[in-house]
Amino acid sequence: MRIDIITVLPELLEGFVRESILGRAQKKGLVEIHLHNLRDYATNKYRRVDDYPFGGFAGMVMQCEPIDRCISALKAERDYDEVIFTTPDGEQFNQPMANTLSLCENLIILCGHYKGIDYRIREHLITKEVSIGDYVLTGGELAAAVMTDAIVRIVPGVIGDEQSALSDSFQDNLLAAPVYTRPADYKGWTVPEILLSGHEAKIKEWELQQSFERTKALRPDLLKKKD
Ligand code: 6GU
């Protein structure tokens, strides 16, 4: 899978995409993440990519031309499954959306900034508008990072233990059960007895019961979504 991220702040995402699980996934050849500086596609000598809005509103608006040039250059090289725009008024990002997007071959994520982008880009080039929650960020970069992380980690082979991505919180609308490691007794804080029993079936049952109880207590809304 390949993800192309278009941004005015590539430095902000540089470390993120090269490190940790994303970095390893790329070294293993499972994913490619490319950052594109939108200013490289400006045609003026000041590398400006925004301008004042028509109508005399406050703030600045990202112009059509650099975005169109960048997306066109990418599309000339390969077909894209989606051209995503990160924006607070987009569809809410969630685990099912991450699952669907992780099956894509090529994705473009355009990071929103300033007051917004010229609406014609959204009408003509964007295929999916996504928000990561009901709050406003200064730019779409953190949203793009959140989405990229959630999408890439479930690409087969990215997480060593194939099981662990499937038993995550939200993967089946249940919160994950608590986990523990050695020592079994730390300062008198003990691990549930059942986990030390070696009884696999009973441990599975305990885990599921814990998941249900935690979901009922903390996120009852998720149980309504569950079939
Ligand atoms: Cl995708 N962008 C911005 N700027 N703010 C947000 C967001 C996106 N999702 C939630 N808040």
Whether the CB of 135 sits within 6 Å of ligand 1: yes
Separation of CA 67 and ligand 1 centre (Å): 19
For the chain, the structural domain boundaries read: 2-152, 167-225
Pick 167-225's CATH classification: 1.10.1270.20, 3.90.1300.10, 3.40.50.12780, 3.60.20.10: 1.10.1270.20
Asked whether residue 79 is marked as a ligand-binding residue, the answer is no
Give the 3-state DSSP-derived string for the chain, with helices as H, strands as E and coil as C. CEEEEEECCHHHHHHHHHCHHHHHHHHCCCCEEEEEEHHHHCCCCCCCCEECCCCCCCCCEECHHHHHHHHHHHHHHCCCCEEEEEEEEEEECCHHHHHHHHCCCEEEEEECCCCEECHHHHHHCCCEEEECCCCCCCCCHHHHHHHHHHHHCCCCCCCCCHHHHHCCCCCCCCCCCCCCCCCCEECCEECCHHHHCCCHHHHHHHHHHHHHHHHHHHCHHHHHHCC
User: Is 161 marked as binding a ligand?
Assistant: no
Ligand 1 pocket member 59 (CB < 6 A): no
Decide whether any atom of ligand 1 lies within 6 Å of the 116 Cβ: no
pLDDT tens column, 43-100: 999 999 999 999 999 999 999 999 999 999 999 999 999 999 999 999 999 999 999 9
User: Is the CB–ligand 1 distance for residue 142 below 6 Å?
Assistant: no
166 pLDDT above the threshold of 70: no
Give the number of the atom of ligand 1 that is nearest the alpha carbon of residue 130: 1
Give yes or no on whether 2-152 and 167-225 have one common fold: no
Q: Mean pLDDT over residues 118-142, rounded?
A: 97
Task: List the CATH code of the domain at 2-152.
Answer: 3.40.1280.10
Q: Note the ipTM here.
A: 0.93
pLDDT at 204: 97
114 lines ligand 1 (CB under 6 A): no
